[in-house]
Amino acid sequence: MCFLNAIMYPHQGDFTDTVSEHIDFLDNEALWREAEHMDGLGMRIWKEGREEGREIGIKALILDNVEERIITKLQKRFDLTEERSRQYYEQFALQA
């Protein structure tokens, strides 16, 4: 029962100790190759997620910067308050 529990919940601290009672990790080359493959898979997923998050952050920053520039231009060109400029921006940006 301990082996099955360790396999189902590998994040527990005693995983290696429990499993090593049943599996010899040291001389099992196939197991080490699989572990390296899984590490590579995990790293690839992490990198893809990181890149996707980075792109979302860049897009949000650019869009936020564009919004602020438009609001500033509205204030200057039409002598509007910041609040009124934001209202116009929200009104017309949603229509675009």
Query: 17-46 pLDDT, tens per residue?
Result: 777 777 776 777 777 777 777 667 777 888
In this predicted structure, which of 29-38, 51-60, 85-94 has the lowest mean pLDDT?
Answer: 29-38
Query: Domain ranges in the chain?
Result: 2-93
Distance (Å, whole) CA 60 – CA 48: 18
Tally the C-alpha atoms within 13 A of residue 78's C-alpha that lie toward its C-beta: 15
Q: Count of residues for the chain?
A: 96
pLDDT (mean) for 69-89: 93
pTM value is 0.43
